[in-house]
Structure 1
Amino acid sequence: MRRGLSAPGVERRRVPGGGALLLDLGAGDRLEIADPEGAQPALLASFDAAGASAPGLFGAPGPRARLDAAPAGGDRLRAACLRRGIDLTRADAAAVFGAESPPGATASFTATEAGVALIVAPGGAMAPDAQTPPTELRVVVTRAAAGPSFRRRPTEPLADAMLDIRIDPGRAIAYEVPKGGWIQILDVQGRECSDFQAFSRRALDRGRPREIDPTATRSMTGGLYPAPGLGAKFFSQDLEPLVEVVRDTCGRHDMFGLACTARYYAAMGYPGHVNCSDNLNLQAAPWSIPEREGWPAVNFFYNTALDEALQIGLDEPWSRPGDYVLLRAMTDLVCFSTACPSDIDATNGFDPTEIQVRVHGPQERFSRATAWRKTPDAEPEMTKETGFHPRTSALTESFAAYNGFWLPSVFPGEGAVGEYWACRERAALIDLSALRKVEVIGPDAENLLQLCLTRDVRRLSVGQVSYSALCFEHGGMIDDGTLARLGPDNFRWICGADDSALHLRETAGAHGLDAWVKTSTDQLCNVALQGPLSRDILKAVLWTPPDRPAADSLGWFRFTVGRIAGWEGPAVVVSRTGYTGELGYELFCHPRDAEAVWDALREAGAPHGLAAMGLEALDMLRIEAGLVAAGAEFCSRTDPFEAGIGFAVSLKTPDDFIGRAALEARKAHPQRRLIGLRLGGGRIPGRGDGVFTGRAQVGEITSATRSPSLGGVIALARVDVAAAGPFEVGRLDGFMERAPAETAPFPFYDPEKTRVRA
């Protein structure tokens, strides 16, 4: 079985911390609940087919607890319960795990009859200086009726549906959608393609069929196919936007070609094979749409790509059971959808299955989102809005999906360059809530971190913060981040990737360490206040108790705990850290307090010229400051020395840590180094563009930008240690165009770090 694909009849689900999951079960179905992070209570309620409480559905799984103590779980859960006749206020549940459950604890149950299970991960809001976040539960359902012919049921509707139709493989349907209506195209079993086409109803009524045009769409969006965000619309030949992509849980589709045709199957030796183009002709006939030998269409879940020679290739779809695309009609539409019949190649994984189409009314509201997974076999999680989103979205519509969250790219009031200068000369405020926060607690917390991090954790005092790296045994980097010591056995690791928490948790288990590793990202929003005037702004709003440092006495790489606008205001943790090379701070608060924190900082910052800042300006600032980024300066094949952060590796400590032996060897025999370049010609090279000495490529660009303060293009590059220059940066194939480059010490800006230490 390929990793990431479940066996027939096996379903993997997750219950977010503080949330709930409803499952329909048949007699004999097996339910396994796991607490991967530990110390997360779990409740299990059961109901019969009529919706009545049925405590005996799983036997007697444990002590009972009232469900009214658990969170409601949102409108979608309540609607699902209502459809099944379930009254949560009259039900109780079994306590499966408690506050002391070890990491990785599991419990299994088997349904004695058909019914419904409700799994709850209770938990409330966590204070910023606390370390008890509610965390997710993992659920695996093994269906008793599983077999080669087993078919999953469609997932729960996103809302009440105006239309809910199953399309069997080799079929097509036509349907109308009013302006503002929502179209969900759902791959029920996974790896099944669906051709989609939409016509403007107004244009059809005038006798001028105008449908989604791939060439017009690519030209208008600048991409191969639209995705949630700014470039989200499909356009007609008249350049009228017809539909907008709102959600996409798959991320791999096709706009290169046509819906499958009779000619294709005949050429492959299968004359007369049912095909989508003929099916679409049949459905289009009542609308007086002329027949076509091949229909241009959006081929959802169809996996084609262009290789380096610009040849089109085909492979099995990426879509998994339950993946879907959610569209919104920009005008009144006549739509067509198919379930592709191809069973002669990898188009549908050689096993065509059904597609479910649901249409929801214009009155519904759905957030924009794409899907991401923490591990290959994990359930998808949707892009989230941060606690600051109501404030940032009032200032800009330009957002980027970054690490599972929507973060502002640029604010039109200042523009990226204006935001940059605000940070360099005054102060700027940026939402960085996508950073991962990981609580590491317990008697062996220090031992665990000493084993995993490249810095000497034992030298860290309570109230201090340290920058470090996390490495694999071979020396390649997992992540970088900052570690704050909240107490003798209490730490908070703030980093960029979910892999950090997974690695820490796996290491604790493998070494039998008494430590919990709990993710608190959803409980802690963070905003960075950066710039030479940031201290003056923070002093105006931050209240700290007598035993904590005040804003004007907080040292570099130190943190304090306080409140905003007085001792009754929102609680915050404030660290004197940042990612800009300027004096600055990061403030951590609960999402429910994010708007109040943002408003207080904006009000206090107004007299100082405080500006909101996005990711584009932040990238300029961090490159100038020589600060590294994952996927650019480092990856799992890059060690900290090659990434330019060798200072974060403590080889003088007597303690061993994961990757130490490899790093000692790599330091003694370096192969590559990170350098700074100043480029001529004015063009900004792309990441991965080659760095050349004569005809030989000796490295590649990792990051580049046009520096407003230095008045030219600068870049970070990884090059062979023996390469001495002179260097050139190659664009296109490296030989069609070259730009001269001279080495420059980095950080390019304030190399002595006098500003950040001010």
Structure 2
Amino acid sequence: MDAPFPADPARTTRLVARGGEALVFGLGAGDRCRVSDPEGRQPGLLFVEDGALTGTGLAPLDDRDIAEAAAARAALAARGIDVSRLAGFRLFPDDAAPGATVAFEAVSPATFALVPTGAAMAPDEQTPPTDLKIEIESLQPSGGEAPAPLAEPKLDLRIKAATASAYRVKAGDYIQIIDVDGRQCSDFLAFDAAALERGKEFGLDPTVTRTLMGTANPGPGLHSKYFDARMTPLVEIVRDTVGRHDAFLLACSAKYYEDMGYPGHDNCTDNFNRALKPFDIEPRAGWPAINFFYNTFVGPDDSIGMDEPWSRPGDYVLLRALTDLVCASSSCADDIDVANAWAPTDIHVRVYDASENFSKGLAHRMTPDAEPRLTRESGFHPRTSALTRKFVEYRGFWLADCYSDEGPIAEYWACRERAAIMDLSPLRKFEVLGPDAEDLLQLAVTRNMKKLAVGQVVYTAMCYEHGGMIDDGTVFRLGEHNFRWICGDDYCGVHLRKLAAEHGLKAWVKTATDQLHNVAVQGPRSREILAAITVTPAHQPTLNELKWFRFTVGRIAGAPVVISRTGYTGELGYEVWCHPDQAPAVWDAIMAAGEPHGIAPLGLKALDMVRIEAGLAFAGYEFCDQTDPFEAGIGFAVPKEKADPYVGSEALKRRRETPSKKLVGLDVTGNEHIGHGDCVHVGRAQIGVVTSATKSPILGKTIALARLDVTYAELGTEVEIGKLDGQQKRIPAVVVGFPHYDPQKTRVRAEAAPEAAAKAPAASPDAVSSMEPRGAETRA
């Protein structure tokens, strides 16, 4: 990583230009700018008024840059800039190494446009446009500037440090509360304005809100509201770029500072009392408030603690008024502890008209220092959102929890008996290519990449040096030097690029998540459905010829697709990969072909049931960085002999020889709810933990996966699942093998008709390709 510009005395600003999108930014005279290509092989086009900059590594435009140049010029023209006077430059060659940089300096104040070039990527290509990073060193000191407004504001209000202000908001309008310099708490109050005119005070009520929402901090989405004592919603959360706030306690009060030995200290409660006085609102000794950006938490001993806020400069919360409101916001006055990082700073409030249309989302960061990305919609969202309003945020995307017509149980049976389709676009996709691509993956994952044939897929683990897991996922081999790594964690791309740099490997790892969205089509009828609509070239396998853990290239409804025979359900199934722009057409074609077969959409609740029955690992449940593949139940993905060393190989060898824990199945007695994290006991001693559990519809009983001490991991061992404190209530269970459902994987391997496959004898392990897993499939 390049050394950053010095932070003092200059001000440093960091921006990201998204792949294929124009970013407009300004520089003052003397400002220095550095543009970096973190993933490599990503040219950029830079446009600025002629003569406004000087620098190195700036090449003239060529004929291939005409289309991208037009987009950048249009973005600048929209800002009122005379594009006829623009000079254009090309940044980075086509084969730029990861981390390549270009630096320049502004000779005079100017507006710039930067476009990371690239068009939409076909699913069998490996050319995703990726991000470029901008770092600006300005000699102008920071003036506590708020970020650019989201739209034209109706109210633009600066709340100075350690003060509070009141303001009116009309029903439907949006309220943006911005932490200008970061790590600064802001308390928020809201009152029903019409009730105030009648002499009635109905403000935010923490007890009602917690009770109705079931959480301390409502998040963006349908269930995101704050209520008053009448159970009337006053505001809803639309966006949140922090995700960590107070548990809705009191705003700081005079008593807090008096008890700490600071009588007369400014406090939010007294500031609110003064600000609300013109509205005839009775003063209080302590105001129950939404404490935005305030990092308080409940400890394991039930005590409430606090630490520095998580918010960074420019972070914000966007709310929407659900009725006419009188609101009040503060900049918290606390300068005697970590609540505001010891130094109160300004808060900025903007109000936008109800006619604006802001997307809902939480901020997702790939790494702690990454730019936040708000929750986004997959290419299939126009179709799934027409079928349900029950969405949850999953790894930066909105996914359906279940569908409105019948619910998760019916969706489950559709998958087991007929066919189901589910949006799994949040899977992270990385294109790994270059002459050393195979060597890089051989170093990074547990399986032997040298045995992987073109057109084949393999399930594998990626580990740290100590043997703990980073993630699991699948590797697709697209060519001799071309691979695709599909997993769940963004950090895998960072890890792979770091390994390539450390070992001097000529390989690029390009992020393709936003260019490659996917649905899984799973169930006994899935082959019939997809075979009827998939057209493949003569040199590619047809859908009927496609073997387990292989992929083919073709078209559905004219849209280019890659189809892999993989899944996460324990059923015969496929995953269909396409560009997001083509996703609605692909969805429509699959649903139309599947209608005679009883296909149904499937959400995350039903998916969790089928994957637990099939014994499939899930990140944060069956594995984490403290868990090795053996403890996660995927030891089959770690071959005893691999020609080349890989990250964690020595640790995994030791762990294989001296295991301490093992993943097992549990059959649970009775119908009590069992959940992730429940303790497992033999006598008084805790000997393990439940990782996942569900009430299995097809088996008619509660089943679980659990990580137990090897002493008690033998089949038939009787254990107890602890409730309450783990001692006062016990639920009997017995250790069994897993998967609980179709343990020999006859259904996913089925080459005959599904009914015949279900009755076929179990396949001999010797008949299974050495690259095919014996206990898991692609994970979501």
Q: TM-score range by the shorter chain?
A: over 0.9
Deviation by residue 1:544-573 (Cα, 9 ceiling, x = unmatched) = 1111111111111110000013xxx00000
Q: Which of residues 28, 31, 37 in structure 2 aligns to 1:29?
A: 31
**Cα–Cα, structure 1 residues 735 and 381, in superposed 2: closer, same or farther, change >3 Å?**
same
Distance in 2, matches of 1:7 and 1:223, equals: 39
Aligned-pair CA distance for 1:152:
4.2
- Counterpart Cα distance in 2 of 1:24 and 1:344: 38
Report if aligned partners of 2:220, 2:238 keep a CA contact under 8 Å in 1: yes
Supply the distance in 2 between the matched residues of 1:223 and 1:330 (Cα, whole angstroms): 20
Which residue pairs with 2:763 in the alignment? none
SS in 2 for 1:596: helix
The residue type paired with residue 167 of structure 1 is I
* Counterpart selection for 2:61 from 51, 62, 65: 65
Question: Would you say the 8 A contact 2:630–2:656 is kept in 1?
Answer: yes
| Whole-angstrom distance in 2 between the partners of 1:315 and 1:475 | 32
Structure 2 contact 50–85 (Cα < 8 Å) conserved: no
Q: Return the match for 2:632 from 643, 652, 675.
A: 643
Q: Which amino acid aligns with 1:62?
A: L
The answer to whether residue 18 in structure 2 is matched with residue 16 in structure 1 is: yes
Matched, 1:233 2:233: no
String of CA shifts for 1:308-359, please: whole Å, max 9, x gaps: 1221111111100110000011111111111112111111111111111111
Q: Which residue of 1 aligns with 2:396?
A: 404
2:549, 2:564 within 8 Å by CA — same for their partners in 1? yes
Q: What CA distance in whole angstroms lies between the structure 2 residues aligned with 1:72 and 1:308?
A: 58
Q: What's the TM-score once normalised by structure 1's chain length?
A: 0.95
SS in 1 for 2:383: helix
Q: Which residue of the partner structure matches residue 121 of structure 1?
A: 116
- Confirm or deny: 8 A CA contact 1:217 1:225 kept in the other structure: no
**Are 1:154 and 2:142 an aligned pair?**
no
The amino acid of 1:119's aligned partner reads L
**C-alpha distance in 2 between matches for 1:661 and 1:244:** 51
SS of match in other structure, 2:226: strand
In structure 2, distance between residues paired with 1:327 and 1:441: 44
What corresponds to 2:43 in structure 1?
41
Aligned twin of 1:674: 663
Question: For the Cα contact (< 8 Å) 1:55–1:93, is it kept in 2?
Answer: no
Q: What is aligned with 2:700?
A: 711
Question: Following superposition of structure 1 onto structure 2, how do residues 63-462 of structure 1 map, counting pairs within 5 Å?
Answer: 63-65=59-61, 69-70=67-68, 82=78, 85-87=80-82, 91-146=86-141, 150-462=142-454
DSSP-derived class of the 1:722 partner: helix
Q: Offset of 1:686 from its aligned partner?
A: 2.3
1:563 partnered with 2:559: no
CA-to-aligned-CA distance 1:695-718 (integer Å, 9 cap, x gap): 111111111111111111111011
- SS, match of residue 699 in structure 1: strand
Structure 2 counterpart of 1:657: 646
Where structure 1 has 5 or more consecutive residues not aligned to the other structure, the ranges are 47-52
Output the amino acid matched with 2:334.
Answer: S
Give the direction of change, closer, same or farther, for the CA distance of 1:256–1:359 in structure 2 (3 Å limit): closer
- Change in Cα spacing, 1:674 to 1:604, as seen in structure 2 (3 Å) is same
Match of 2:681 in 1: 692
Which residue does 1:747 correspond to in 2?
739
Q: 1:300 to 1:54 in 2, by over 3 A?
A: farther
Whether the aligned pair in 2 keeps the contact of 1:625 and 1:751 (CA below 8 Å) is yes
Shift of 1:685: 2.0
Name the aligned partner's letter for residue 731 of structure 2: A
Offset at residue 399 of structure 1 (A):
0.9
SS of residue matched to 1:198: strand
Q: CA deviation at 1:101?
A: 0.8
Residue 638 of structure 1: how far off its partner (Å)? 1.1
Deviation at 1:395, TM superposition (A): 0.6
Question: How far, CA to CA, are the matches of 1:271 and 1:22 in structure 2?
Answer: 49
> 1:595: which partner in 2?
584
Residues 460-506 of structure 1 deviation map (CA, whole Å, 9 limit, x = unaligned): 11111111111111111111111111111111111111121111111
- The residue aligned with 2:724 is 732
> What is the number of residues matched between the two proteins?
741
* Closer, same or farther: CA 716–448 of 1 in aligned 2, 3 Å: same
Counterpart-to-counterpart distance in 1, 2:617 and 2:736: 16
Distance 1:671 1:412 in 2: 44
Name 2:768's counterpart in structure 1: none
CA contact (8 A) 1:676 1:743 kept: yes
Which runs of 4 or more aligned residues in structure 1 lie more than 4 Å from their structure 2 counterparts after TM superposition? Answer: 3-8, 71-75, 87-90
Partner of residue 755, structure 2? none
For residue 569 of structure 2, what is the aligned residue in structure 1? 580
Change (3 A) 1:601 1:5: farther
Identity %: 55
Cα contact 1:4–1:377 (8 A) shared by 2: no
CA distance in 2, matches of 1:287, 1:88: 51
How far the C-alpha of 1:605 sits from its partner, in A, is 0.6
Tell me the distance in 1 between the aligned counterparts of 2:638 and 2:57: 49
Separation in structure 2 between the aligned mates of residue 325 and residue 721 of structure 1, nearest angstrom:
47
Q: Equivalent residue of 2:45, what SS?
A: strand
Q: Do the aligned residues in 2 keep the contact of 1:730 with 1:739 (CA within 8 Å)?
A: yes
Q: Return the offset for 1:296.
A: 1.5
Q: Is the 8 A contact 2:50 2:87 kept in 1?
A: no
Secondary structure of 1:139's aligned partner? strand
Moved more, 59-68 or 132-141: 59-68
Aligned Cα root-mean-square deviation (Å): 2.1
Q: Identify the range of structure 1 (425-434 vs 438-447) with the bigger mean alpha-carbon deviation.
A: 438-447
CA contact (8 A) 1:428 1:529 kept: yes
Q: How many angstroms does 1:179 deviate by? A: 1.3
Q: CA deviation at 1:93?
A: 2.5
State how far apart, in whole Å, the 1-side matches of 2:134 and 2:284 are: 47
- Tell me the secondary structure at the aligned position of residue 739 of structure 1: strand
- SS of the aligned residue for 1:518 comes to strand
Q: Give 1:71 deviation, angstroms.
A: 7.7
Alpha-carbon contact 1:61-1:94 (below 8 Å) kept: no
Residue ranges of structure 2 left out of the alignment (5+ in a row): 751-780
